[in-house]
Structure 1
Amino acid sequence: MKPKLLIVDDDDALREMLRQALGKDYRIEEAERGEEALRKMEKDEFDLCLLDIILPDADGIELIPELKGISPSTVVIVMTGYPTVERAVDAMKKGAFDFVKKPFGVKEIRFILKRAVEEKKLREAYENLVEFADARFSFSGIIGKSKAMKEIFRLIRTVAPSNATILIEGESGTGKELLAKAIHRNSPRKNGKFVAINCGALPETLLESELFGYKKGAFTGAVSSKKGLFEVADRGTVFLDEIGNTSPSFQMKLLRVLEEGSFYPLGSTEPVKVDVRIISATNTSLEELVEKGVFRQDLYFRLNVVKIVIPPLRERKEDIP
């Protein structure tokens, strides 16, 4: 089927010339005004759009994001009789594929349109390939062909849309944070912040001040108040790596966040309410730490609503590139 082209220009003679020159190779629709172009774009799908900069009711360059917002795959080529480098750069930044100066010859515009069609086909082929590869061998950029990883991807697709807390177990280097990010990106919280912190890399006091924040004067050096990462990530996701290395005091405060959705910044008597999803990770068995009495059992149950165990790479050689 011939590519569909929308010509947006208030010059009747130019539109007629383009229709005569391009009609054999393209299915052509026309619009004289920006508002008309938007209406046509909403009703139909166009492969290409030839867009004049100066329209009776709109600035063509400012119209580009609106057109692309309706149809991201449409390739927009800007036409103008008053070209400047600044305008050309602005058009490209807003999503134009090319910029052509009026008056132009039939041969020139045919060449530009042909190149635009080829670009569109290449982009679509690439997107289809990425989609195929993602569906078959990966999840949100995480590659895995083994049966174990495919099962993990299936589980993530199931639990990502929920608010359930998730515990990820796996050796160092198995991609626990990548998995947590994938869960966040595929959840209703994807427009919120994803905040990660390594609990095992920070002393207890610093870990608490980073996560819960503090008020001015709470300790020596606290010259101003600071929001904690839990508050920063409100309506988003907090990833707590190496959760097994935390102290009993910190575990008790984290349990409060999970149970009540609130916490006290250091030096404050006023609780802060937050709505965060907590994903935690460990390279050791939390169950064993609970049995040894170094990890709270009630917190373990709260964190372990859904458990994902990532096998080491040596056990899934199919995933080695």
Structure 2
Amino acid sequence: MKLLWIDDAEGSCGCESIELPPGWARTVVQGLGDGFRYARDGNWDVIAVVVPQGGWCAKEVVEQLLRVRHRTPVLVVARRPDYREAVEAAQTGAFDYLPAVDLPERLKSTLERVAALCGSSRRRSSPAEPWRQFVIGESRPMREVLEIVRLVGPRRCTVLITGETGTGKEVIARAIHMASPRAHLPMVAVNCSALPEHLLEAELFGHVKGAF
């Protein structure tokens, strides 16, 4: 498996000396310029980035990396760990937030966890149905849901997904998106409950200048 390590310009975290789990190979670059380019052009199983760098905070770096490699786990390595920064990175989509002080042990265990998850995803997925890797479950009700995804995915239609909180509605929505002809385009999730009622229509569909 392949790890891209984006170190700062000084190479302060010394990734080359850290022992990786068996089966892992690392590529180390310095600076975000080369880091973003390597992330975009390479095929990586994990991307680890040292923060802060060049005025970029962890949240901004994670956002940029996920734009170019939206399915690759991103690890944030913090030279100056901060609780709020860790929360922001996680909310943005970082796979893990690793303080540099105990990096060797934490990095090894995190890479082992990523390898286990990737192995499970590859067993579930197939070239014909790449979306299948996101949906876990083989029970009869889940098989019925998967058949519905296969049915509506290729069609241009509106789909209403209902269910209790935490049952995976957005996971199924993403599976439908990946099964559709629009899979190469970004999927935008909007939390409508967070929008004021009188602004919902304007936020979703726009408004004429001066309407307010």
Q: TM-score range with shorter-chain normalisation?
A: 0.5 to 0.7
Q: Summarize deviations over 1:255-285 as a string: whole Å, max 9, x none.
A: xxxxxxxxxxxxxxxxxxxxxxxxxxxxxxx
- 2:13 maps to 14
Contact 1:52 1:80 in 2 (8 A): yes
The secondary structure found in structure 1 opposite 2:18 is helix
The secondary structure found in structure 2 opposite 1:5 is strand
* TM-aligned CA distance change 1:43 to 1:143, over 3 Å: closer
What displacement does 1:143 show? 7.3
- 1:112 maps to 110
Partner amino acid for 2:117?
E
The secondary structure found in structure 2 opposite 1:12 is coil
Distance 2:181 2:27 in 1: 40
- 1:103 maps to 101
The residue correspondences of 1:53-132 to structure 2 (distance < 5 A) are 53-56=51-54, 58-128=56-126, 131=132
* TM-aligned CA distance change 1:124 to 1:87, over 3 Å: farther
What displacement does 1:187 show? 6.8
Partner amino acid for 1:104?
D
- 2:24 maps to 26
Structure 2: stretches of 5+ with no match in the other structure: 158-175, 188-203, 206-212
Distance 1:88 1:73 in 2: 20
Contact 1:8 1:34 in 2 (8 A): yes
2:141 paired with 1:142? no
What displacement does 1:140 show? 6.8
Distance 1:13 1:90 in 2: 23
Identity %: 15
Contact 1:21 1:106 in 2 (8 A): yes
Q: Alignment RMSD, CA only?
A: 4.0
Contact 1:73 1:120 in 2 (8 A): no
Partner amino acid for 2:72?
T
* TM-aligned CA distance change 1:40 to 1:187, over 3 Å: closer
What displacement does 1:119 show? 2.5
Farther-moved stretch of structure 1 (31-40 vs 100-109): 100-109
Distance 1:57 1:86 in 2: 17
Structure 1: stretches of 5+ with no match in the other structure: 145-152, 164-181, 192-232, 235-321
Contact 2:13 2:100 in 1 (8 A): no
Contact 1:47 1:73 in 2 (8 A): no
The residue correspondences of 1:42-53 to structure 2 (distance < 5 A) are 42-53=40-51
Contact 2:52 2:79 in 1 (8 A): no
The secondary structure found in structure 2 opposite 1:113 is helix
Q: Summarize deviations over 1:48-81 as a string: whole Å, max 9, x none.
A: 1121121125323311122112112211111113
Partner amino acid for 2:11?
D
Give the TM-score taking structure 2 as reference length. 0.57
The residue correspondences of 1:157-196 to structure 2 (distance < 5 A) are 157=154, 160=155, 186=180
When Rg is computed on C-alpha atoms for both structures, the one with the higher figure is: 1
Partner amino acid for 1:142?
I
What displacement does 1:142 show? 1.3
Partner amino acid for 1:54?
P
Contact 1:33 1:57 in 2 (8 A): no
Between the two proteins, the alignment pairs up a number of residues equal to 156
What displacement does 1:34 show? 1.6
Distance 1:111 1:58 in 2: 27
* TM-aligned CA distance change 1:20 to 1:127, over 3 Å: same
